[in-house]
Chains A and B, each alone.
Chain A
Amino acid sequence: MSELFLWILILAPIGAALFGYIFRNGSSLPHLIGVSASLLGSLFLFLNISQSFSQKIEFGGLADFPFVVVANYQNALLALVVSVVALAIFIYAKGYMEAEKGKRWFWPAMSLFLAAMQVLVMAGDWFLFITGWELMGLASFLLIGTWHEKKNARLGSVKAFMLTRFADMGLYAGAFLTIITYNQLAVPFSVTQEISVLAASCFLLAVMGKSAQLPFQSWLSGAMAGPTPVSALLHSATMVGAGALLLFKIYPILPEEALLYIGIIGCLTIILTGLTAITSKDLKQMLAASTSSQLGFMLLAIGAGFPGAAFAHWLAHAFMKSTLFLGAGVFQQGYESTQYKKIAGSGKQLKVTHYTFIIAALALTGIPPLIGYWSKDGILEASLISGNWFFVVSGVLGAFFTASYVSIAVRWLWKGKAEKPSISKKNLMLTGIFILIILVIAGGFGLEPIVKKIGYSIPKGKWSMVLGLVAALFGLLTGWFYRENWLPGTFTKFSRENYTLAGGYQNLVVNPTLKTANFFQHIDAFILEYIEKIGYFGLNLSQTIFKADRNVKTAVWEIGNSGIWLSSFSQIFDLKILISIKTIASSIKESGYYGKKWQSGLVHKELAITIISLLILIFILIISLIELL
């Protein structure tokens, strides 16, 4: 039975995507059905699966390397979270996209994205995992470029695609190393053997790309060019979450050293993207930076050795961040922008949205009893337990930054005056938000048991709670009173533009890439030139051969002609021979005729011939005798 649900949860969005792709009518209905089916599938699967139960389904593939999907508690839960968030976002998107262009492109891509995520979640072998991973990369590219007529949408989608693709090389390398280490295609569960640090580093590269960790965080801000539901989907439970999900999957086989690197990357990301979020002048950009920062918390927790805390934060973040994004989308719909200045004071006009936004923001800050408190507390405690002061400082600082930037956003929305906007289909959007806000408020209480049911544990401690709350409150206050001149202008700009060191993405990635491409193009042209020369040489050669051929042909022709001439000559000769033979024959016959004449019948004549002949004979003999003597 659970197998059926499993297939429904994966295949329903795929079917919806295909339907949308084939019929191209931009209708949202099949996709809503698809996501609902996926949700139901994952829900029933979740309910059917007990803690200890895990079902491995093998199918297709090569003889020794079957495809594997694993229906265990963790995967089912992840699938459920993904589909819940997706459903909320889909409902919201129906409203959001009502008046927008690009629905034909948007909806199938959304379903494809969801399907890819579900495949990724359920994957039990590297082949399916990479399939999901790549499909998601493709879908994100399509979604960010929904409004591809806009330049920044195009650039954003290309940037996201390029950066994640670059990082994806790490996944391939890591998967390859893992496969040869374990000699199996399946993602390993047991801890019989740890993978090498190199393989772990490769995986870390993939995680950094997908989860927008330093230094790949800039693709997220570019991705904001897409529709807001896309941002909500990408930046909450799915795309960025996929990186963390990879870490959850390989956590049992990670070596000790790799955990440290993961933690350090996480810490750096928390601090630097936190600052970006603070210095940001745009609500969505702030949220994007915040996403990187929150994912950094997860890496920190894993680095500290507590994947349970990371997992909890993954779940919490999925709900909180999608709520925030959806709220931002409502402001965007109302004021055609998400820049703080444009939407200043809009919270007073869009009160419901504003309140949900505030709740989600507080949750993100880690205010109890909202869901964010439980996970962030766990992470701080994990960093304390790890005893690594860098982790602790980063965690506390991160919490402080988080509180600060949400506070800044809330203040922008709260303060100032704004006109009343007209938003069509606002109710649908709000429905989506409500689904999520309920989970944000109440989810915290269920978080710990669920995580424990999977087998993880969330550490808890008084110090972490105090530190977290102090940091959060201090941060909120700081954020509320924050002014741009508090920080040096150059730093603000530097931070806001995602630390474009030495030209940033443009100089570090684009230009080298272009130069490399240019270099290869030169080599290419060089090779091409030589190939062309070789070609011309071949052409000349063939022309020469052709001429030689022609000469040979002429020669053969002449030989043939001479043969014909010879044969005609010999024919004449033949004729001559024939005539000669005839002549000889007739002469023989004629001689017979003359010989016959001798036969006169007259004895005396004949006797005379005889005697004469005899004398001639004797004469001949005498001559020969004389010679002899």
Chain B
Amino acid sequence: MGKMSEDLLTILPQIILLLTAMSALVFEMLRKPLGSLYTLIIGMLGALGLSIYRLGTVKTAFSGTFRSDELSQWAVIILSGAAIFIGLLVRQELKGTDREGTVYSLLAFSTLGSTLLAGSGDMMFLVLGVLISSLTGFALAAYPKTDSATEGAVKYFVYGSVTGAIMLFGLTYWAGISGSTLLSASENTNQPFLMLFGFGALIAGLGYAASLFPFHFWTPDTFEGAPVSIAAFLSVTPKIGAFFALAQVMKILPQHIVDYNLILAILAAFSMTYGNVVALWQNSLIRLLAYSTIAQAGFFLLGIIGINHSDLGISSLIMFGFAYAAMNIGAFAIVQQVGKKISHISGLAYKKPFMAVAMTVFLLSLVGIPPLAGFAGKFLLFSSAIDSGYTWLAVVGILNSAISLAVYLRIISPMFFKKQFENESSNQYLIQMVYISCFILTIGAGIAVQVIIV
């Protein structure tokens, strides 16, 4: 087998995702949205299975521009699973709408972009991944064609354009210094200012995708305008992709020239704090969760800071990524069921006790209460940060967990202590399937954390 075919085999999961997207589009052309969904599910399962099979092997493709390592493999696993769940949620929410199949196709494309980000060893892959995920995200957010959806989508687009331009601009300096687009090529540079500028630009681009403060401004509006299932997707897939990409970059960047971790720590602290305190003021469930995702983005950074200093760095990222995907999708699924306002969820415990319990579990997991998956993830993240010498950041993170408890109690409290239940929506089978699955994953991952941490 030739070099080329070996490289293609290495990126086989990504190729599967691409083919899935294409096939889903084909089914949409055939006006067979269900076919698109099945294609999505089958394709995602294929990629997922392949990645699980490949766990533990490390390969690079195309002269080191793409890495098939632990991070990228787990990215495929987590994001493929997420795509399946989101597909089901989309099916429930957008069933029968015009161009339903394109959504499945776009989901696959976006997932592809995120997985490319997660495995990027080259600046071009970074740019490519950000562009794919952001463009598809823009299209997804704009899907309902309502004013608010369009507004959100446009904001997303504008933000993406600006930050993308900055990133592209900054990366050209990197490429210029090292004479190569390979991330590994920047090791031998002695231009710290330019490196620093390039890194700042890179943060802008990835931070936008990850809705990290101060690149987050699109998030609440876009989430509010977009369908709930799409919001769930945007809160999970680009974010995990972007953070895994940042982790890939940080793994390679020469640490002895510039202390990049300082900027990451500042961003983490601000992101966590900002997300939580603003979330306290939200009356919309979806906006609250949007700010919550901003805060959770800050937590991701703790793992990235520790990636060169702690054994737990990668493990904590994977664990928290997995947990985040499960609990966030679960929470969004329930929001999709009950409605976008906090008042919609009040009294849920009396009508749908299991759903209320599941919601509580998701939120508490987001806070980081044992033995749930969120706890395991956050525990590893804090450990990683402390190992790296960022104890103060871990303390800020823990304090933010406390504040986040206040945030999530704003949802939990009315569920159990207000009796009237306004939203008399009927049970939606697919949503139930999703949130119960997420529920099992949240609890199971928390308990079986040893299995996931390799």
List residues of chain A with CB under 8 Å of any chain B CB: 585, 588-589, 591-593, 595-596, 598-599, 601, 603, 606-607, 609-610, 613-614, 617-618, 620-622, 624-625, 628-629
Chain A interface mostly: helix
Contacts of A589 in B (CB 8 A): 277, 280-281
Residues on A with C-beta less than 8 A from B406 are 585
Nearest residue, chain A, Cβ from B267? A617
A sample of 15 more A-B contacts (CB under 8 A), given A607-B159, A618-B196, A628-B259, is: A585-B406, A589-B281, A593-B281, A599-B220, A601-B221, A603-B154, A607-B158, A613-B213, A614-B204, A617-B267, A618-B197, A621-B196, A621-B199, A624-B259, A628-B192
Chain B residues, Cβ within 8 Å of A624: 259, 262
> Smallest Cβ distance from A400 to chain B, in angstroms?
126
Give residues 147-178 of B contacting A (CB, 8 Å): 154-155, 158-159, 162-163, 166
B: residues with CB less than 8 A from A are 154-155, 158-159, 162-163, 166, 192-193, 196-197, 199-200, 203-204, 213-215, 217, 220-221, 258-260, 262-263, 266-267, 274, 276-281, 403, 406
- Decide if A592 touches B277 in the complex (CB within 8 Å): yes
Contact indicator A621/B258 (Cβ below 8 Å): yes
User: How far is A620 from B265 in the complex, measured between Cα atoms in Å?
Assistant: 12
Contacts of B154 in A (CB 8 A): 603
Instruction: Give the residue name and chain of the B residue nearest to A619 (CB).
Output: B200
The residue from B203, B220, B258, B278 contacting A625, defined by CB atoms under 8 A apart? B258
Residue in B266, B274, B278 whose CB lies within 8 Å of A617: B266
B280 near A609 with CB under 8 A, answer no
Interchain nearest-CB distance for A292 vs B (Å): 111
Which residues of B are found within 8 Å of A599, using beta-carbon distances?
217, 220, 278
The 5 A-B pairs at the shortest CB distance, nearest first, are namely A592-B277, A613-B214, A606-B217, A618-B200, A595-B278
Assess A625 versus B158: contact at CB under 8 Å? Given A595-B277, A614-B200, A620-B262. no
- Minimum CB distance partner of B199 in chain A: A621
Report whether B278 and A596 are in contact in the complex, using a CB–CB cutoff of 8 Å: yes
Q: Which of B158, B163, B217, B259 has the most CB of A within 10 A?
A: B217
How far in angstroms is the closest Cβ of chain B from A167?
98
B274 and A595 within 8 A (CB) = yes
Q: Are A607 and B162 in contact (CB under 8 A)?
A: yes
Chain A residues with CB under 8 A of B197: 618
Expressed in whole angstroms, the Cα–Cα distance for A624 and B257 within the complex equals: 11
**CB closest residue in chain A, given B260:** A621
What residues of B have a CB within 8 angstroms of the CB of A595 in the complex?
A: 274, 277-278
Give 25 A-B contacts (CB < 8 Å), ordered by A residue: A585-B406, A588-B277, A592-B279, A592-B280, A592-B281, A593-B281, A595-B274, A596-B281, A599-B217, A599-B220, A610-B162, A610-B163, A614-B166, A617-B200, A620-B263, A621-B196, A621-B199, A621-B200, A621-B259, A622-B196, A624-B259, A625-B196, A625-B259, A628-B258, A629-B192
Q: CA A316 – CA B158 in complex, angstroms? A: 155
* Distance, CA A593 to CA B262, complexed state (A): 27
Q: Are A588 and B220 in contact (CB under 8 A)?
A: no
Q: What residues on A are CB-neighbors of B263 within 8 Å?
A: 617, 620-621
B192-A588 in contact (CB<8A)? no
In angstroms, Cα B278 to Cα A209, docked, is 119
Considering the chains assembled together, what is the distance between the CA atoms of A593 and B199 in angstroms?
A: 31
B378 CB → nearest A CB, Å: 20
Taken together as a complex, chains A and B put the C-alpha atoms of A629 and B266 apart, in Å, by 21
Q: Which chain A residue shows the least CB distance to B274? A: A595
Assuming A592-B277, A595-B278, is B193 touching A622 (CB within 8 A)? yes
A591 to B281 alpha-carbon distance, docked (Å): 10
How far, in whole Å, are A288 and B89 apart by their CA atoms in the complex?
139
Contact for A610 among B193, B214, B274, CB less than 8 A: B214
Residues of A within 8 A of B279 (CB): 592
In Å, the complex CA distance between A599 and B291 comes to 11
Q: Which residues of B contact A592 (CB under 8 A)?
A: 276-281
Distance between A606 CB and nearest chain B CB, rounded to angstroms:
4
